[in-house]
Amino acid sequence: MARLEGQRKSLGALDRSFLAAERRDVMMHVGSLLELSPTKGWSRDFSRELREELSRTEKVDRPWNQRLLHPDLLASPLQAWVPDESFDLEYHVRRSALPSPGDERELGVLVSRLHGTPLDFHRPPWEAHFIEGLDKKRIAIYFKVHHALIDGYTGMRLLQRSFSKDPTDLDTPLFFSQKSVERTKDHEEVAPTFDALLAAVRDQVGVAKDIGRALVTVAQSIRGGASGLALPLQAPKSVLNQRISRSRRFATQKVSIERVKRLAASAGGTVNDVVLAICGVALRRFLGELDALPDKPLVAMVPVNVRPKDDPGGGNAIGAILASLATNVADPRASLDAIIASTKRSKAQLQGMSKGAIMQYSALVLAPLMLSFIPGAVGRFRPAFNVVISNVPGPETPLYFRGWKLDEMYPLSIPFHGYGLNITVQSYAGSLNFGFTGCRDTLPHLQRLAVYSGEVLDQMERA
């Protein structure tokens, strides 16, 4: 049995909220689909060699060895992470196979099913599935982890540590065997002295002032009528905002990041603005074909990473802004201009705020989201927003795993009641990889949305 490293660790408020939101049909885990191809000869023994390596693994480090102290009471105020004394690595790392030769459609069906099954909270809440049987002698890895254990930013950084920039490197330890990145002094907890208490009080006073100023701007925008600032409860009702089932659909798309950067520069916006525009234009076409396009523009909730650049991660540290997707605008380029104006107003709200202020202000902006947890409330009120769209930075150069080249990297995320579609974008080696995760029963033909998103860049460049 693998030796465990770690100790008891309390949960932050945001981590607790992800546990409290867990339901039979709302599973709060995120995931990643990795597709790899051999760089030299194809080895039939790869899976056997991997199993032997797992059997030799002597140490599993945090957070991969951590389970919940109270797995049957997820919302317990005494909840904490503790080492799993009966940790079983073979339970967490599994093999799957497609009927050979499996194609992208069969892979998507399998991953959709895997993503639609809950994690076991009596064990550390993560799984890694090695999938064989793909065409062209490729393999895939589907990885999922509960959002309360780590966020997408942290998960991506930790998972990447199993990969190498050297195609001949066959010895990089698997991610769960590597020692956790130690936080620097800037990230250590302050000793509970009187001076520290005074500093904490001053910080909270500053937070209150920041939030107060931001809320005044929101109030002025509401009174002033038309504004580029997307406001809480401004989003229209739509087919995206219904109760969901536990079944999932997953679709993917990939675009060139250089094309996106050129378009962003020509329009005076950012890469994330173009990502939002791609999603908005594709959603306008997709919902139009379903005869379900609202007259008012859809609103996206866009998570914002508030960590310092060198933060090693751990737990959750994210804020959020609301942005119009301009789905009421027919011209793709005019739609991009409207989105740029909206995101500039929303990001201006956060300028000068501390990390704590951003997170608390984000919680206030998203407070109407809690209405979706009231039985029977979904569909009766306007949603807090219509769709979640995240952009997670990834590796800029190609990576390799035991001599296999990482060709594709697609993120999977969380639909929940009232919000049946989640779009997450992951950058990797010159491309932006879109992962569309939706409720199977409320969003039919999700693959069409992925296809349409791949055609938007051509439309915008022509415009």
> Which strands sit side by side in the sheet containing 9-10, from one edge to the other?
9-10, 80-83, 66-68
**Residue 315 one-letter amino acid:** G
First to last CA, the chain: 60
Q: Is 244 helix (H, G, I), strand (E, B) or coil?
A: coil
CB distance 280 to 286 below 8 Å: no
Pairing status of strand 93-102 against strand 126-134: parallel
How far is Cα 99 from Cα 110, in angstroms, rounded to an integer? 11
Listed in sequence order, the residues at least 6 apart from 3 whose beta carbon sits closer than 8 Å to its beta carbon are 58, 59, 60
Helices (H) and strands (E) in the chain, counts: 11, 17
Which tokens belong to 172?
């990089």
Phi-psi region at 445: left, alpha or beta (left = phi > 0; alpha = psi -120 to 50): left
147 is catalytic: yes
Listed in sequence order, the residues at least 6 apart from 160 whose beta carbon sits closer than 8 Å to its beta carbon are 394, 395, 399
Residue bearing tokens 């339901």: 23
Listed in sequence order, the residues at least 6 apart from 227 whose beta carbon sits closer than 8 Å to its beta carbon are 221, 345
Indicate the burial class of 185 (C-beta count within 10 angstroms; 0-12, 13-18, 19 or more).
exposed
Helix, strand, coil fractions of the chain, as percent rounded to 5: 35, 25, 40
Q: Which of 29, 115, 129, 147 is catalytic?
A: 147
Determine phi and psi for 105, rounding to 5 degrees. -65, -45
Number of Cβ atoms within 10 Å of the Cβ of 46? 17
Angle made by CA atoms 331, 388, 233, in degrees to the nearest 5 = 85
| Strands annotated E in 50-117 | 59-60, 66-68, 80-83, 93-102
How far is Cα 162 from Cα 45, in angstroms, rounded to an integer? 19
Sign of torsion over alpha carbons 6, 8, 13, 18 = positive
CB distance 333 to 267 below 8 Å: yes
Active site residues: 147
